[in-house]
Amino acid sequence: MTQLTLDQQRRFQKAHRRFVIGVLIALMYCGGVGLAAQFVSLEPVGLLVTLGIFVVTGIVLWCMFGYRCPACGTTPRARVWSVGGGEVTYSSMVALFPRECSGCGIQLDARPRD
């Protein structure tokens, strides 16, 4: 399996850190709004809450667009198979902590492989 160069590894780590921070910001904002809604009425500040959601969505999208494999340019994806209710389903989503690129197979984490 091929490895990333040191420069590619640094660029990916920076993009990965930015993506994780963006997701955490979104979770904290939504969790904070949800928690506040349990105790006070957010109707008077509904427009601000809505604008905040748009801003947080923009932050996550901006972070996600930079989160690419430095070797092939695809977004690292996690693949999940599930069986239940008489059907088999397959889904693919953005991987938060990928070990390797789903597009080219290059190792993305700096940890040594088994």
> What's the domain range around 62?
6-94
| Domain annotation covers residue 29 | yes
**Is residue 73 exposed (0-12), middle (13-18) or buried (19+ Cβ within 10 Å)?**
exposed
pLDDT, one tens digit per residue, over 52-96 is 999 999 998 888 888 888 888 888 888 777 777 777 777 777 888
Full-model pTM:
0.74
Reduced DSSP (H G I as helix, E B as strand, rest coil) percent helix, strand, coil of the chain, to 5? 50, 15, 35
Collapsing DSSP to helix, strand or coil, 13 comes out as helix
Percentage of the residues of the chain whose pLDDT score is greater than 70: 94
| Domain annotation covers residue 39 | yes
| Domain annotation covers residue 108 | no
| Domain annotation covers residue 102 | no
| Domain annotation covers residue 101 | no
Which pLDDT score is estimated for 55? Answer: 93
| Domain annotation covers residue 50 | yes
In whole angstroms, what is the distance from residue 7 CA to residue 13 CA? 10
What is the count of structural domains for the chain? 1
| Domain annotation covers residue 104 | no
Nearest 10 degrees: CA dihedral of 62, 57, 82, 12?
A: 20
